[in-house]
Each structure stands twice: as C-alpha cells, then as structure tokens.
Amino acid sequence: MVVSRRGASAKAPRTQFEYEPESKIIVGDCIAEMEKLPAKSVDLVFADPPYNLQLKGALKRPDESEVDAVDDDWDKFASFAAYDNFTRAWLLATRRIMKPSATLWVIGSYHNIFRVGTIMQDLGFWVLNDIVWRKSNPMPNFRGRRFTNAHETMIWAARDENAKGYTFNYDALKAANEDVQARSDWLIPLCTGDERLKGKDGKKVHPTQKPEQLLARVLLSSSRPGDLIVDPFNGTGTTGAVAKRLRRNYIGIERDKTYAEAARERISAIEPLPDDTLKPFVTARDAPRVAFSELIERGMISPGARLVDSKKRHGALVRADGAIMLGDKVGSIHRIGAMAQGSEACNGWTFWHVETSKGLRLIDELRAEVRSMMIA
C-alpha cells in the first residue's frame, strides 16, 4: 500500500484554495442520499453512527436525578441483527462514494464498534489504526457496577488493502507533537461549554455532539484543504464546522430536520482559517528542487551580481549560465563555496548571500520564495 505522508505532494500541488469551501447539509436517510452521490468522488468519510446503546429504562444518579442519556429513537434497533443490516447497508453506500485513495473514520463505543469493525473488514475495508479517544472528563458510572466508561474508539480504514496514496500528514503531525510521532491515544475533553449547542430552553440540542478538537485531529491528519469530506450522520454538524474552518468541502447527511437546521446555522457562522495557516507542510525531503539558475531566470539575481559569504571575506561573480566564478575558478555555488573555505563540501545555499537594497540576503531565502510560489 502506498501512503502519501506529506501535507500535499510538492510535485502535484493541490493548494489553490483561495475560494470559500462549500458546505451542504442534506436532510434524508444517509443510505438513500449517498446512493445519489457520484461514485468514487469523496476524499474522506467521517461517520458517527447510532451506537445502539440498548438502554433499558431511565438512567438515574445516586440522588435519583435522571441522566440525560441517549434514548432517542434514532439510536434504537430491534436486535443486533437489525443493527448489523443497517451497518452493512450504510458501509456499502459509503464505500461506493469513496475515491480509491479515500479513507473512512468510524467512531463508536463498546456497544457497537466491534460489530462495525467486523463488518468493515468483511466488506473489504482495510483497518489502518484504531484511535482511542480518552475523555478527560467522562461521565461517571452512576451505579458503581462497572469501570467508568472513559473512552470511545475510532476505526480509521482505507477503502481496501491495496488502496494507494491515502493521505496521512505524518510530518506535520510529528512537527506539531514536538517532533515525536503522533500516537493513537488522544486525550480530549467531551464537548461542553460554549461549544455545546443549546436550544432556547437551555437544553442540549443534541445528545452526542462531538468535540471540534477531535474532528480537527481527524481532518488535519488525513485530509487536505479542498478535499471533499462526507459525514453520513451529521447530527449538529461538528465535522462540517471543522471542515469549513480547515477549508475542506463538506456534505453532511442527517435525517432529523431540527438537527440539520441547527447544523446549518452553526456552519454558516464559521470563518475559514487564513490560507497561510493551512499551506502544505513541506519537509526538506519533499521540497521541490530549485536550481540556482532558476533564481537568475526569475530575475531574482542578475548575471554579474556578486555573491558573498556572511562576513564578506569571499566574493564570487554570478555568470549568466548559473555557475559562479571565484578568481579563475568556475563551478556550482556548492563547489565554489567549498573551495573558498578550503573545505571538502559546502551547502552553497546557506553560505552565499547577495547584496540587496536592504542589506545582505541569504540565497536560501530566495530559494524558499521560489518554492512557495511553486506550491502556492
């Protein structure tokens, strides 16, 4: 399986995102609605399906007050078999709309995630990771009969075992994690406070609104600006809100009109982040190659200009062909840099400077400007 470990391939940039990301919420059944979407058109699917919690009666705290648990009709299924049939149907519909390089995230709890995972494998999805979302503020186990249920599991899977080029922004994730590989256990609080959508009555709009921090990690790790993200179980539109902020396009499907309306309102208030904050993370390994002659071709350095080291001890003449000349010796910026210092090797980009009206500029800075034009 080939993995794209970059934020975006420098050779095939996909970063012309000076546009407003599009968000659409469809009211309807996700299976029927996904069947209407074009095949192989979606870059990433995030699914937060019904958990099938099978709650028997009201859940009470020790003081007899009632817990606001998930007892909605959308979470009820007659049997495990009915839940499995439903799961198979939406997973099949999802797989059809996924591009061959797309990935699927499914979040669930012990009530459903094992069933979902088995069906995913049976249908040919290829599990890449299971991520544990560890809740820093979980709900206690009120009856004291079990452990506190303090996590949910997310399965991240490719469309099939041989899927090529799925997005995993490995280098950016590592850089953001103090240069340590990002791990599969994420400590994130439940969605509370101002982020939690509330109705006029002050009650939660939705019982299972997910934290934006969780979705931000999902989308930042496995998608790119401009990608099309689908969430078949839109709820309050957490995925859509984060997608718009991160300049991804979004289609959410939700069968409940009230939730869909709340989600539309929420997403319309989101401002996409500035382009610069989302530009691809390009490592030295991935950066497009820029030849010194390109600075000349682009008019950033003129033939005849003088290159000097930081202390101006050495001066070399820039030739029209992109080589430089020190005394009667002609060669590359690297070879002549090494010669000037009497050393074996030299990185000419970080040795030579050019005189500008604002003082000396390292030629590596000019190269960085060219690179940013190449991947902008």
Q: Work out which of 77, 83, 133, 259 binds ligand SAM, going by CB under 6 A.
A: 259
Report d(CA 358, CA 315) in Å as an integer: 18
What φ, ψ does residue 256 adopt, rounded to 5°? Answer: -95, 120
Backbone angles phi, psi at 200, to 5 degrees: -60, -25
236 binds ligand SAM per the rule CB under 6 A:
yes
Using rule CB under 6 A, residue 43 touches ligand SAM: no
Residues linked to residue 360 through DSSP beta bridges, in sequence order: 355
Q: Which of 15, 167, 238, 249 binds ligand SAM (CB under 6 A)?
A: 238
Q: Which of 43, 48, 152, 171 binds ligand SAM (CB under 6 A)?
A: 48
Which regions of 232-287 does DSSP assign to beta strands (E)?
A: 249-254
Closest listed residue to residue 251, CA positions, set 95, 35, 37, 29: 37
What residues contact 21, with CB distance under 8 A and at least 6 apart? 225, 226, 243, 244, 247, 248, 249, 250, 272
Residue (of 164, 88, 157, 156) closest to 123 by Cα position:
88
Write each residue from 69 to 98 as x if it is in contact with ligand SAM (CB under 6 A), else as -, in one continuous string. -----x------------------------
CA 136, 142, 145: angle at the middle one, nearest 5? 105
C-beta closer to ligand SAM: residue 219 or 253: 253
* By the rule CB under 6 A, 261 interacts with ligand SAM: no
Nearest approach in angstroms of CB 256 to ligand SAM is 4
Q: CB-side exposure of 233: number of CA atoms within 13 Å?
A: 20
**Which of 130, 256, 275, 355 is close enough to bind ligand SAM by CB under 6 A?**
256
29 or 261: CB nearest ligand SAM: 29
Site for ligand SAM in 176-215 (CB under 6 A): 206, 208-210
| C-beta closer to ligand SAM: residue 250 or 292 | 250
**Cβ-closest position to ligand SAM:** 235
- Which residues, 6 or more positions from 202, have their beta carbon under 8 angstroms from its beta carbon? none
Judge contact between 171 and 118, C-beta under 8 A.
Answer: no
- Give 95 or 206: the residue with its C-beta nearer to ligand SAM: 206
Q: Which stretch binds ligand SAM (CB under 6 A): 35-43, 180-188, 248-256, 342-350?
A: 248-256
Residue span binding ligand SAM (CB under 6 A) among the ranges 53-61, 111-119, 254-262, 289-297:
254-262
Beta strand 353-356 with 359-362 is: antiparallel
| 255 part of the interface to ligand SAM, by CB under 6 A | yes
Using CB under 6 A, pick the residue from 125, 156, 166, 233 that binds ligand SAM: 233
Binding-site residue total for ligand SAM (CB under 6 A)?
Answer: 18
Least distance from ligand SAM to the Cβ atom of residue 107, Å: 8
Q: Left if phi > 0, otherwise alpha if psi is -120 to 50, otherwise beta: which for 113?
A: alpha
Q: Which of residues 21, 50, 117, 348 is near ligand SAM by CB under 6 A?
A: 50
Residue selected from 8, 10, 25, 30 as contacting ligand SAM according to rule CB under 6 A: 30
Q: What residue type is assigned to position 330 of the chain?
A: V
Tokens 């718009």, residue?
244
Amino acid letter, 91: L
Question: Applying CB under 6 A, which residues contact ligand SAM?
Answer: 29-30, 48, 50, 74, 206, 208-210, 233, 235-236, 238, 253-256, 259
